[in-house]
């Protein structure tokens, strides 16, 4: 039975970062990975362009039952540190929007740099069967062999995008060793809607996008929303989905820079002969303007002249344009979720080292922990920071 100072289960962003830091301290490291290659989620991130961090990393951009837990790791290994690491491998980057940083050389180059950074680690791929037990130290039995260590790091992420081999293995290990967890649910995921709402609002409009403010549970995001054949997607929808609870409505402000009712009253006075859909076409694509004119008010008004519409009806329409309430039937689920919300309960872990408070030598990092970031590089930064924090002590 081979013995290593550190065994890391999971060769994603967090696991590779942890391995590099442990190696820097002269530790022997074994990485066990279920997939046939390391870093599969890194390769597909940002459409292959790798949105590896964000300039605006703040604890408020992370969801957790303990909003303070992420502060220690994020403050000690920052966005500037991962930027410096990639630059040390001659990689360059650019800012797209909202502080999102993408690697000019794309995802493969980022993964290659991480590999080089921990090339002294021994890595086993295609590890299909794996059991963990502890006596004096941790024993890991696999289809490749049996191993022992005093420091076991769980970096297996969550079950989002199962076709990539993702599972809830981390929560199973936590349960095995008596640690509490917050059940995983899909995050950064499109919404689905009931068929009656799809027929009424979205039918034959798939592919249309627009700028909006989407709100839920006193949280708001202003970005694009995209109509799909099953409901709504786009950055603002993905962001709010991480906060959404089943059965609750979301609120969409379709004209965030305008008091829609006042504008419609003004247009009624100044352009009484114009059709409502013509007025709305100033802000929306023609098909969408017509649909909103016919569905966001009890009466079908899209083809009515502004001067013929009751002021009370315009007030209702304006209110809906600024505060459209819709209740999703659900989400697209783990199949398309970019991340999972939930994970190992942060009260079970040290925020400085990511080590279990109950089981010495057992660590959880990355998405396996109940810390979930916004869209835009935040989850990668949590992976780098939490992996680095554990790597300092394992």
pLDDT of residue 80: 98
pTM of the model: 0.94
How many C-beta atoms lie closer than 10 Å to residue 20's C-beta? 22
Positions of the chain with pLDDT under 50:
none
pLDDT of residue 159: 84
Q: List CB contacts of 175: < 8 A, sequence separation 6 or more.
A: 181
Give the H or E element holding residue 384: helix 378-391
Spatial distance between the Cα atoms of 16 and 111, rounded to a whole number of angstroms: 9
pLDDT of residue 215: 98
pLDDT of residue 217: 87
pLDDT of residue 130: 85
For the stretch 220-232, pLDDT in tens is 999 999 999 999 9
Q: Strands, E, within 235-315: which ranges?
A: 250-253
Place of tokens 């872990």: 349
pLDDT of residue 355: 98
Domains of the chain by start residue, with CATH:
2-186+340-391 (3.50.50.60), 191-331 (2.40.30.10)
Q: Do the Cβ atoms of 116 and 123 come closer than 8 Å? A: no
Instruction: Indicate the DSSP class of residue 228.
Output: -
pLDDT of residue 60: 96
Spatial distance between the Cα atoms of 381 and 377, rounded to a whole number of angstroms: 6
pLDDT of residue 106: 96
pLDDT of residue 160: 83
């Amino acid at each position: 039975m081979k013995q290593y100072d550190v065994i890391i289960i999971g060769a994603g962003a967090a696991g590779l970062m942890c391995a590099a830091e442990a190696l820097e301290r002269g530790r022997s490291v074994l990485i066990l990975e279920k997939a046939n290659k390391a870093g599969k989620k890194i390769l597909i991130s940002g459409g292959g362009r790798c949105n590896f961090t964000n300039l605006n990393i703040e604890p408020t951009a992370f969801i957790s039952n303990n909003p303070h837990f992420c502060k220690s790791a994020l403050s000690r290994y920052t966005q500037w540190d991962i930027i410096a690491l990639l630059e040390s491998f001659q990689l360059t980057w650019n800012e797209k929007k909202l502080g999102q940083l993408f690697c000019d050389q794309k995802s493969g180059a980022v993964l290659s740099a991480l590999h080089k950074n921990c090339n002294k680690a021994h890595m086993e791929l295609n590890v299909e069967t794996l059991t963990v037990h502890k006596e004096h130290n941790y024993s890991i039995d696999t289809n490749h062999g049996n191993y022992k260590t005093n420091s076991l790091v769980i970096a297996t992420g969550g079950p989002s995008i199962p076709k990539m081999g993702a599972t809830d293995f981390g929560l199973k290990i936590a349960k095995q060793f008596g640690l509490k967890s917050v059940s995983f649910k899909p995050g950064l995921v499109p919404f689905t809607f009931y068929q009656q709402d799809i027929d009424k609002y979205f039918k034959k409009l798939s592919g249309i996008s627009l700028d909006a403010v989407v709100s839920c549970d006193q949280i708001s995001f202003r970005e694009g929303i995209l109509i799909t054949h099953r409901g709504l997607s786009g950055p603002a929808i993905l962001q709010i989905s991480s906060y959404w609870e089943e059965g609750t409505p979301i609120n969409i402000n379709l004209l965030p820079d305008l008091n829609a009712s006042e504008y419609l009253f003004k247009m009624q006075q100044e352009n009484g002969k114009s059709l409502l859909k013509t007025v709305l076409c100033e802000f929306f694509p023609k098909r969408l303007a017509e649909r909103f004119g016919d569905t966001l008010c009890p009466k079908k008004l899209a083809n009515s002249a502004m001067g013929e519409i009751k002021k009370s009806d315009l007030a209702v329409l304006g209110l809906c344009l600024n505060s459209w309430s819709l209740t999703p039937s659900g989400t697209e689920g783990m199949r398309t979720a970019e991340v999972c919300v939930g994970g190992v309960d942060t009260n079970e872990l040290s925020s400085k080292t990511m080590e279990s408070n109950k089981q010495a030598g057992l660590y959880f990092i990355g998405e396996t922990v109940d810390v979930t970031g916004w869209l835009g590089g935040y989850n990668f930064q949590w992976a780098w920071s939490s992996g680095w924090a554990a790597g300092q002590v394992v």
